[in-house]
Amino acid sequence: YNDHKKVYEKIGEPTEVAMKVLVEKMNVTGVDLSKYSKGQLATASSDDIANKFKKIATLEFSRDRKSMSVLCVPNDAEATSKCGISQTNKLFVKGAPDFVLERCTHIRVKGKKVPMNQAVLRNILDMIALYGTGKIP
């Protein structure tokens, strides 16, 4: 957030910025955003995740996997479980949607973990294709 201009500005690669914005919009750890300034809101959820997990390994981008991954462990299992995240290690993955999604066994829908199946996968891939055209519903 640029305090001088009073606007949010992107810093970095467009894909990385888009991922950060998505994390902030999803707010998967349920951060109470009411206590943050506009500048702090730009990274509140990302900061919360970074405080809850410690990165222990990175799998760099691979053309075969068409993704990169970071393996993390909870810093404080009790605090992590209070925000609805299981106390197990997490593998955060980013990459080509079709390659990432085909390896998923579950997805999050309205905060709940649900099994991935072929119909759900097709629906997600269709929405991604639609978003790619700029014709967002």
Determine the pLDDT at residue 83. Answer: 54
120, exposed or middle or buried, with CB in 10 Å at 0-12, 13-18, 19+? middle
Give 131's pLDDT tier (boundaries 50, 70, 90).
confident
**CA–CA dist 137, 8 (Å, integer):** 24
What would the pLDDT profile of 4-41 be if each residue is shown by its tens digit? 998 988 888 888 888 889 999 989 888 999 999 988 99
Top-confidence residue, 130 or 85 = 130
CA 37/CA 133 separation, integer angstroms: 34
- In which region does residue 6 sit, left (phi positive, over 0), alpha (psi from -120 to 50) or beta (all else)? left
50 by DSSP, 3-state: which? helix
Model confidence over 35-90: pLDDT tens digits?
Answer: 999 889 999 999 998 888 999 999 999 899 899 999 999 887 665 555 555 668 88
